[in-house]
Amino acid sequence: MAHRLPLSALALALTATAVLAGAPDHAARTQAAASHVMAQRQSLGLNGLHDFRILNAATDELGMTHARFQQTFQGVKIFGGEVITHTDREGNQRAMTLAHQPVAALNTTPGLQASEALALAHQILAPKGGYAYAPKVELVIVPETETILVRPSRRALDMDFGTQISREQVVRYTLAYHVHTELENGTEETAHTDFLLNAHTGAVIDRWSTLHTTAANGTGNSQFSGNVTLQTNSTASGYEMRDMTRGTAGNYTTNLNHATSGTGTIYTDTDNGWGDGANYVEGSSTTAANGQTAAVDAHYGLGVTWDMYKNVFGRNGIDGAGTTTYSRVHYSNSYDNAFWSDSCFCMTYGDGSSFLTLTALDVAGHEMTHGVTSRTANLTYRGESGGLNESMSDIFGTMAEFYRGSSAATIPASGGNWTIGEQLATPSFNRPLRYMYKPSLDGSSKDAWSTSLKRLDVHYSSGPMNRCFYFLSQGTGTGNYASTYLPGGMTGIGNDKAARIVFKALTSYMTSSTTYAGARTACLNAATALYGSGSAEYTAVANAFKAINVN
């Protein structure tokens, strides 16, 4: 729901993106990309009522500039309608990544006011408390689809029902309001909910959850990573948990002290020694050593993940511009989750009841990656794109765990594991949250792509992409962990190469509406850019997707 710049404001946007990219001809290439997109309208089947607004642009380590454009019709955003241009270092336009919609004609004057749409969403939610942030509403055009029978096939591009195959096909375009709400009222009511409401009748077209869950050197006694060094800030009275080496104003960690709103109070300490390494005792002080421990893990996890993105992928923080972010710990009472919020640009952690305190490193990396995804492909948190969104967080949360203790420009091959949240286990929930190598071990996730994925919770439809990444890095394994879709097996290319391919796919080739079939294309494009179309890495990507039934 971020503010988008119209093409008429392109010059202003180019100034900002040129600074981010650090390339002298970045602005010129982005301007050329904008002109190229407009020149291609007719070949894309679009009439003169269509326009494009720049979302973001960046020049990568290969000298290629990737510019994302939001498609509009008569000035109204088309939900999921995007185009990405790819301009090489010589200024040549490569094939575009297309997710556009050919709207021919549509009345873009709504029958309802935005305030009426907000009132309808409020009535449906019937919240127990107030909103954490003011709800947002935006007029959009929604492509509505139906299942159309086509021909026998068993590809990820199609849907199978026995011997009959069908495909999702756009049957109408509907003017709608996209409403985004955030309720953070503790264990009883923590929900981020989006609606698409018909802009004429108020009928609910869709509804889904967008709760993205899961310079002084101090010494931290962490719960999940042992004794760690923390970057803190020296003050007149002691030290504060603010990392002056990362973030434009220093990333920091705060204590909500069981509140469910606000920034919280930044942690302070007199001797720069933090935490006792033990799980937080519910009801005890959140500022004493035991209460500090959650802050130690959250602060450390943010630093490790920040360094991984910067040192390995060249990304300066969540938004690529080094903007300060922060972590809030001790949210509510016994809250069994952690979540990312774009509104506060922060991560929030509960103390847990069925789980231990939710500040394990792979969880911290997971939540921070939701922020990275929201600033790049912005994968919509529903259907297959929602499963891919969750998978990106699982993948890079796992890579952060492997990166723990490193400052290298590569991701190590050892030091982590292939489960998510295993350190949070308690007698009442004595297993990991997710298994990368065989997702179905959690009892709900799927091991391979099928038509049922779009109907699953995004935490379970993420399974096939998690397994695809495991295969890409480690190979297909043997016995119960092998893939029936790839009987001959495959050899993995290691953590570092696998992560680079998926990161480039996410940041350069995926759009908000990318499906599993689109993810395969994006990863193949990324492998081509990084290693060449005839490379072993390209072949490994193709095999890894084949192993999850996307071929």
**Three-class secondary structure assignment of 426-480:** ECCECCCCEECCCHHHHCCCCCCCCHHHHHCCHHHHCHHHHHHHHHHHHCCCCHH
Tokens of 214: 């899961």
Whether 202 and 231 share a structural domain:
no
Query: Is the pLDDT score of 154 beyond 50?
Result: no
2 burial type by CB count under 10 A (0-12 exposed, 13-18 middle, 19+ buried)? exposed
C-alpha 405/C-alpha 424 separation (Å) is: 20
Given pLDDT bands bounded at 50, 70 and 90, which one contains residue 343?
very high
Given pLDDT bands bounded at 50, 70 and 90, which one contains residue 150?
low
Whether 158 and 198 share a structural domain:
yes
In this prediction, residue 10 carries a pLDDT of 36
Active-site hit among 367, 390, 401, 537: 367
CATH number of residue 269's parent domain: 3.10.170.10
Q: Select, from the ranges 17-21, 148-152, 544-548, the one with the highest average predicted confidence (pLDDT).
A: 544-548
In this prediction, residue 145 carries a pLDDT of 82
In a domain, 2, yes or no: no
As a whole-number percent, the residues of the chain with pLDDT over 70 amount to: 91
Active-site hit among 240, 384, 459, 537: 459
In this prediction, residue 207 carries a pLDDT of 93
Whether 265 and 339 share a structural domain:
yes
Q: Closest Cα partner for 175 from 153, 157, 201, 151?
A: 201
Query: Is the pLDDT score of 427 beyond 70?
Result: yes
| DSSP code string of 108-142 | ---SS-HHHHHHHHHHHH--SS--SS--EEEEEEE
In a domain, 103, yes or no: no
In a domain, 151, yes or no: yes
Which secondary-structure segment (H or E) carries 350? strand 346-350
In a domain, 108, yes or no: no
Tokens of 161: 């029902």
Whether 392 and 494 share a structural domain:
yes
In this prediction, residue 167 carries a pLDDT of 65
Whether 218 and 307 share a structural domain:
yes
Q: What is the reported pTM?
A: 0.86
Whether 246 and 129 share a structural domain:
no
Q: Kindly list the distances between the CA atom of residue 367 and the CA atoms of 11, 67, 115, 131, in Å, as whole numbers in the listed order.
A: 33, 25, 32, 21
Q: Mark whether 459 is an active-site residue.
A: yes
Whether 512 and 393 share a structural domain:
yes
Whether 357 and 221 share a structural domain:
yes
In this prediction, residue 149 carries a pLDDT of 59
Mean pLDDT over residues 28-34, rounded?
Answer: 85
Domain boundary among 368, 403, 438: 368
Whether 79 and 154 share a structural domain:
no
Whether 201 and 284 share a structural domain:
no
Q: What is the pLDDT of residues 227-284, one digit of tens each?
A: 999 999 998 889 999 999 999 899 999 999 999 999 999 999 999 999 999 999 999 9
Domain boundary among 161, 190, 210: 210
CATH number of residue 482's parent domain: 1.10.390.10
Phi-psi label, residue 169: left if phi above 0, alpha if psi -120 to 50, beta otherwise: beta
In this prediction, residue 151 carries a pLDDT of 54
SS3 at position 262: coil
Sign of CA dihedral 440, 445, 449, 455: positive
In a domain, 523, yes or no: yes
Whether 258 and 329 share a structural domain:
yes
Q: Closest Cα partner for 20 from 54, 56, 52?
A: 56
In a domain, 119, yes or no: yes
In this prediction, residue 12 carries a pLDDT of 32
Q: What are the helix (H) ranges across 285-403?
A: 289-313, 361-374, 383-403
In this prediction, residue 216 carries a pLDDT of 61
Q: What is the pLDDT of residues 81-105, one digit of tens each?
A: 999 999 998 889 999 999 999 999 9
As a whole-number percent, the residues of the chain with pLDDT over 90 amount to: 81
Tokens of 221: 């006694």
Q: Kindly list the distances between the CA atom of residue 115 and the CA atoms of 139, 176, 197, 199, 208, in Å, as whole numbers in the listed order.
A: 12, 13, 12, 11, 20
In this prediction, residue 20 carries a pLDDT of 37
In a domain, 107, yes or no: no
Domain boundary among 194, 210, 226: 210
Query: Is the pLDDT score of 162 beyond 50?
Result: no
Specify the number of domains making up the chain: 4
Phi-psi label, residue 475: left if phi above 0, alpha if psi -120 to 50, beta otherwise: left
Whether 541 and 487 share a structural domain:
yes
Write down the mean pLDDT value for the chain: 90
In a domain, 421, yes or no: yes
Mean pLDDT over residues 442-471, rounded?
Answer: 95
Query: Is the pLDDT score of 148 beyond 80?
Result: no
In this prediction, residue 392 carries a pLDDT of 98
CATH number of residue 24's parent domain: 3.10.450
- Please give the residue range of the domain that contains residue 269: 214-368
Query: Is the pLDDT score of 546 beyond 90?
Result: yes
- Comparing 9 with 487, the larger pLDDT belongs to 487
Q: Mark whether 138 is an active-site residue.
A: no
Q: Closest Cα partner for 468 from 443, 433, 431, 505?
A: 505
In this prediction, residue 18 carries a pLDDT of 35
What dihedral angle (degrees, nearest 10) is formed by the CA atoms of 58, 63, 66, 67? 60
Residue found under tokens 């109408």: 172
Query: Is the pLDDT score of 287 beyond 60?
Result: yes
Given pLDDT bands bounded at 50, 70 and 90, which one contains residue 14?
very low
